[in-house]
Structure 1
Amino acid sequence: MLAATVAVLPLLADGPVLRDLADTRGITYGTAVTASKLTGAYGELAGEQFGALTPGNEMKWESVEPTRGSYSWSGADRVVDFAEAHGQKVRGHTLVWHSQLPSWLTGGGFPAAELRTLMTDHIAAEAGRYKGRVDYWDVVNEPLDEDGSLRRSLWYEQLGESYIADAFRAARAADPDAKLYVNDYNTDGLGAKSDGLYALVKRLIAQGVPIDGVGFQAHLIIGQVPATLEANLKRFADLGLDVAVTELDIRMALPVTDAGLAQQKAEFARVTTACLAVARCVGVTVWGFADSDSWIPDTFPGQGAATPYDENYVPKPAYTGIAEALGWTGGGDPPPAGSSCSVTHTVQNEWGSGFTAALTVRNTGTAPLDGWKVTWEYGAGQRVTQAWNATVTQSAARVTAVNAAYNAAVPTGGSVTFGLNGSRSGTNPPPTGLLCTTGS
């Protein structure tokens, strides 16, 4: 596990926490990240604000299998470890794609049978490595052309449409509990490409292929957010599948204007609202949360500012638009589900048989706290051996922490941190049922 900080950035002290707001609405708000940047302000924001992480590049084929049969997991491991340390879900991206393939694969001239085996072996290796640690997999990414027909990729040219079904079956065999998705772009509204995706998904269902969900990338432009987004999400959900917005950004022409930022705010809110309106929409992921970590300027010269934070990690109006769509009305962090405090659990250090964790209690209400209690369960046999800044007791898996006399009072918008040492005999997964209540 990576050491992780629990500090709250000054710019967040009086602002909403998107992951908390999303939790109260029954969805997950996530972000794509770059593994090498998960430190400092970038790491703090990624861990503080988002409930799920997607590795932007670290799980793609050229990253993890640059040489046939030789794997490099460091970047992907770092993202997964960070997510676990911050109680976040992981969206694995991606197992089979036509792009970012290593040259040994694209130039190998493999016959169909061998290529199919290479594909399924790769899926078995990658999905198998993260079995039980990745919540969703983008199994097949961007299989369609703009007219809705299947893309003439290496996979389709050699293997035909059957490569898609085989990829899903291999992923299910490697990790039976992960949710398996097909993911594509320019399919966000009703149209030829989304019709092609809809037809493909229906064929997969009819074949008994283990597909659980459909991802809509939503790389959008201000002023061009599809009016039919919600209706499109709903028709896929009506097939009995989960849906998710997986790579949301909304770009604009540079230089940035106040009018552009205001429109972008409204459109981030609109996409978020569309997900909330569809019962089987499980969440939204922004494709990089800060403009300094966005792919847009390099790909679309003269365009950019596509994310909720600027290049200095200052929240833009889009951030507020997301929060408001999730139910925030201003005045501090959102109160989660009938309470006026929230809590985060962060593993700061691990060694062979033990670990250190820090828990931060935040006042999310409109009045000072006078006492707080935190409860959770350690599901893998972990035991608390020492604690500070709180009275901590444990009965079987259930742990209860009550404020000390000197930190019972927490001002509106303020926070306190307590810590513990624990023992473990194996893995150290995040706690479940983490809950903060007021009054000691």
Structure 2
Amino acid sequence: MLRRLIAAAALLAAALTTTPATAAAAADAPLRDLAAARGVYLGTAVTGGKLTGGYADTAATQFDSITPGNEMKWDAVESVRGQFDWAGADRVVAFAEAHAQKVRGHTLVWHSQLPSWVNNGTWTADTLRTVMTDHVTTEVSRYKGRVDHWDVVNEPLNEDGTLRRSVFGATLGESYIADAFRAARAADPAAKLYVNDYSTDAIGAKSDGMYDLVKRLLAQGVPIDGVGFQAHLILGQVPASMEANLRRFADLGVDVAVTELDIRMTLPATAEKLDRQKSDYAAVMRACLAVTRCAGVTVWGFTDSDSWIPDFFPGEGAATLYDEGLNPKPAYAGVAGTLAPTTPPPAGVCSVTYTVTSQWAGGFTAQVTVRNTGTTALNGWTVRWAQPAGQRVAQAWNAAVTQTGEEVTATHLSYNATVPPGGSTAFGFNGTWTGSNPPPTAFTCA
């Protein structure tokens, strides 16, 4: 079944017609502007206490959405029942408003970072439900009209897709999720309300559990607007089924978003690892852009100096777009290049359509169609592209195909060199892949 779904994801990328990317636009424009031009947001999690100097400047210039890393969590705002401290959250929200940024509220109901009075209390179902909905109502009401998206319930599932036995799950069962969403909607009818979890990026047991949960909530009339996919990924392991997974949730009638993206590697970072990380970040961006209801992508911290990874995964890190000195890494260029606008092919040359016709574990077959878009015949043609995730061409037909690193060049053979106006010719190849097999996003054709 998984193999068929992977193949389906590849076929959903079929008939992808691309044109050369405008590299100058990607180099000159901030990421937030490139994202806005593509109809999505590009956000980052921040630490409120660091929003000064170069850290603040980068956060403001490059991102159009801000998520407080910790400042809105239950233990930060209500460590004592009924006593609220809004200083940290207010600072982040004020920063976002000063820089025309959206705010993603994170998070209202979560099993972790709870104050001890909640986690260790002796509750009946009615009293815990009241405590929870009072907290949701108070926090959402405070930021009514100022927070665009709320992660209402965070990480409600186990790895097998069943309900996590948190204090909420154990005491209230699944009903606590619906209650939290309804309280949030009543407090701010305009905010987008999300359920958010990790290890749901690929089609599998946990994402299947989330899919079924969302269907049940919708059937009950629960006001759920979106599903967040955290995407704490490992280098070289962007799921091949990520786009198909996002799409199946969107097909339920909800928005989807990548909410906590980082891609960690075993240290030390090397040029080769950083180049692969660039391809991986680009692959995630492409998956979002390919799904109409993908609202945007949020990176979980934009600089390695503010990343959670080294503290939780000893020996791993370098997971973000910027190094510790706030210098952009190759991953930054990967995101920018994927978001960059495209330009139409020059008149009288050709266009390219790339189709994955079949895919299996570690391998795939692709067909590339070259069409003459001009008014005179093509007398010879060459197509060039980059394989974005390090895929390798193993065997080709109807063209002479060579590959150096990621760069692939295909040239006509004697019998298909001439293409009349409006006509087309095609060639194919077998290739290999590891981790993921996203289609190329830009071709040159002459």
Q: Which fold has the larger relative contact order, with Cα–Cα distance below 8 Å and residues 6 or more apart in sequence? A: 2
Alignment partner of 2:78 out of 51, 54, 65: 65
| In structure 1, C-alpha distance between the alignment counterparts of 2:143 and 2:75, rounded to whole Å | 18
Q: Which residue pairs with 1:89 in the alignment?
A: 102
Task: Render the CA deviation track for 1:192-244: whole Å, top value 9, x for unaligned.
Answer: 00000000000000000000000000000011110000000000000010000
| In structure 2, C-alpha distance between the alignment counterparts of 1:105 and 1:217, rounded to whole Å | 25
Alignment partner of 2:252 out of 230, 233, 239: 239
Contact kept? 1:16, 1:328, Cα under 8 Å: no
- What residue identity is the alignment partner of 2:306? D
- 3-state secondary structure, aligned to 1:285: strand
Contact kept? 1:29, 1:52, Cα under 8 Å: yes
- What residue identity is the alignment partner of 2:77? V
| In structure 2, C-alpha distance between the alignment counterparts of 1:151 and 1:107, rounded to whole Å | 16
Residues 200 and 14 (structure 1), Cα distance of their counterparts in 2 relative to 1, 3 Å cut: closer
Gaps of at least 5 residues in structure 1 are 1-12, 330-440
The answer to whether 1:206 aligns with 2:219 is yes
Contact kept? 2:227, 2:254, Cα under 8 Å: yes
Q: Which residue pairs with 2:207 in the alignment?
A: 194
The answer to whether 1:227 aligns with 2:240 is yes
Alignment partner of 2:124 out of 88, 111, 114: 111
Q: Percent sequence identity over matched residues?
A: 71
Alignment partner of 2:137 out of 124, 132, 143: 124
**1:15 Cα deviation after fit:** 4.2
The answer to whether 1:276 aligns with 2:289 is yes
Task: Render the CA deviation track for 1:266-290: whole Å, top value 9, x for unaligned.
Answer: 0000000100000000100000000
Q: Which residue pairs with 1:315 in the alignment?
A: 328
Residues 14 and 281 (structure 1), Cα distance of their counterparts in 2 relative to 1, 3 Å cut: closer
- 3-state secondary structure, aligned to 1:110: coil
Q: Which residue pairs with 1:304 in the alignment?
A: 317
Q: Which residue pairs with 2:89 in the alignment?
A: 76
Alignment partner of 2:175 out of 162, 168, 172: 162
| In structure 1, C-alpha distance between the alignment counterparts of 2:129 and 2:147, rounded to whole Å | 24
Taking only aligned residues, the RMSD between alpha carbons, in angstroms, comes to 1.5
- 3-state secondary structure, aligned to 2:287: helix
| In structure 2, C-alpha distance between the alignment counterparts of 1:281 and 1:107, rounded to whole Å | 38
| In structure 1, C-alpha distance between the alignment counterparts of 2:125 and 2:194, rounded to whole Å | 24
Q: TM-score, normalised by structure 1?
A: 0.71
Q: Which residue pairs with 2:34 in the alignment?
A: 21
Contact kept? 1:189, 1:228, Cα under 8 Å: yes
Alignment partner of 2:114 out of 98, 101, 108: 101
Bigger Cα Rg: 2
| In structure 2, C-alpha distance between the alignment counterparts of 1:201 and 1:283, rounded to whole Å | 19
Task: Render the CA deviation track for 1:75-113: whole Å, top value 9, x for unaligned.
Answer: 100010000000000000000000000011112212221
Gaps of at least 5 residues in structure 2 are 1-25, 343-446
| In structure 1, C-alpha distance between the alignment counterparts of 2:155 and 2:327, rounded to whole Å | 32
- What residue identity is the alignment partner of 1:204? L
Task: Render the CA deviation track for 1:32-62: whole Å, top value 9, x for unaligned.
Answer: 0000000100000000000100000000000
Q: Which residue pairs with 1:138 in the alignment?
A: 151
Alignment partner of 2:270 out of 240, 243, 257: 257
| In structure 1, C-alpha distance between the alignment counterparts of 2:61 and 2:317, rounded to whole Å | 24
Runs of 4 or more, structure 1, over 6 Å off, are: none
- 3-state secondary structure, aligned to 1:146: coil
Q: Which residue pairs with 2:3 in the alignment?
A: none
**1:249 Cα deviation after fit:** 0.1
- What residue identity is the alignment partner of 1:183? N
| In structure 1, C-alpha distance between the alignment counterparts of 2:318 and 2:231, rounded to whole Å | 15
Task: Render the CA deviation track for 1:329-380: whole Å, top value 9, x for unaligned.
Answer: 8xxxxxxxxxxxxxxxxxxxxxxxxxxxxxxxxxxxxxxxxxxxxxxxxxxx
- What residue identity is the alignment partner of 2:80? T
**Pairs within 5 Å for 1:328-339:** none
- What residue identity is the alignment partner of 2:246? L
| In structure 2, C-alpha distance between the alignment counterparts of 1:323 and 1:16, rounded to whole Å | 9
Q: Which residue pairs with 2:279 in the alignment?
A: 266
| In structure 1, C-alpha distance between the alignment counterparts of 2:118 and 2:181, rounded to whole Å | 20
- What residue identity is the alignment partner of 2:108? L
| In structure 2, C-alpha distance between the alignment counterparts of 1:109 and 1:294, rounded to whole Å | 35
Contact kept? 2:27, 2:336, Cα under 8 Å: no
**1:16 Cα deviation after fit:** 3.4
Q: Which residue pairs with 2:304 in the alignment?
A: 291
Contact kept? 2:32, 2:62, Cα under 8 Å: yes
The answer to whether 1:147 aligns with 2:160 is yes
Contact kept? 1:58, 1:75, Cα under 8 Å: yes
